[in-house]
Amino acid sequence: MNSQLRTPVLEGTDLAPFGRLVEAPSDGLTLADVPVDDLLATTLSSKVLVLRGYGLLDVPDLEDYCRAAGELMRWEFGTILDLVVQDDPKNYLFDSGDVPFHWDGAWSERPPRYFLFQCVQGCAPGAGGETVFSDATRVYRDAPEDLRELWARTTVTYRTDRLAHYGGTMTHPVLATHPTTGETTIRYAEPLDPARYRNPLFLTVDGPSSEDAVRAMTELGERLHDPRYCYEHAWRTGDIVVAENHALLHGRNRFTGSTNRHMQRIQII
């Protein structure tokens, strides 16, 4: 058994339909006071871990903390991505609209196991911008056998211009094996209509017949968005959220109010 599965999990409150909220037991604690092995073990078992009441770390300390858990994904901007709404963005990640489901590191040879957000500035209640996580392992597990068999025969080729820190063309099967738990999971990025999104994403589906491909992708989209499988996180200033990248897909609701939110994201391979 992987050593992560033997590490104690953090005590907290279970979220619905999955996830765990852990609140700081006393004042003056920061993320650095949370044992990183326990942090990852809790995230692995709960899929999403929300820490509240812990002080945020500055960039060097955040890198050091996460590096103790594994290698960090490094991009041209470094290891930490500042997620803020820009005035004239080239990529949809930085505008005020929604972000469809995807998985982190899809364009990389080694996608991260975990990603961590620090919320430097949150949103006012009701302002939108919630991050939505879909439990891809449970979506697969609950699907009927004939649909699972159809997904197993389906591959998707993705194409997008490299206007941000990723892009190009890649082909990926819809189903994959979780590298730690061995569960079957879903790897899928939703298409981005050029009429709605900057830096659109185009998909070509291969494997099944045309009729079966329509069913495979239609039911996939519907099931991933089913509220039974989705946790929406409304961001407060100071929130720290760690997510399990292989079991989940994630996206973002559009902003309906202020777009002054600022988050920092770091990825652990």
Q: Which residue segments constitute the domains of the chain, with CATH numbers given?
A: 3-268 (3.60.130.10)
Tens-place pLDDT, residues 252-262: 999 999 899 99
Amino acid at 120: V
Q: How confident is the model at residue 5 (pLDDT cuts 50, 70, 90)?
A: very low
**What is the C-alpha separation between 61 and 72, in angstroms, rounded?**
13
How far CA 62 is from CA of 29, 41, 57, 72, 111, in Å, comes to 14, 18, 5, 11, 20
Quickly count: other Cβ atoms within 10 Å of residue 9's Cβ.
18
**What is the C-alpha separation between 122 and 102, in angstroms, rounded?**
22
pTM for the full model? Answer: 0.94
Mean pLDDT to the nearest integer, 229-233: 98
Tens-place pLDDT, residues 101-157: 999 999 888 999 999 999 999 988 899 999 999 999 999 999 999 999 999 999 999
Spell out the alpha helix ranges (H) of the chain. 36-46, 59-67, 136-142, 145-152, 210-224
Which conformational region is residue 176 in: left (phi greater than 0), alpha (psi within -120 to 50 degrees), or beta? beta
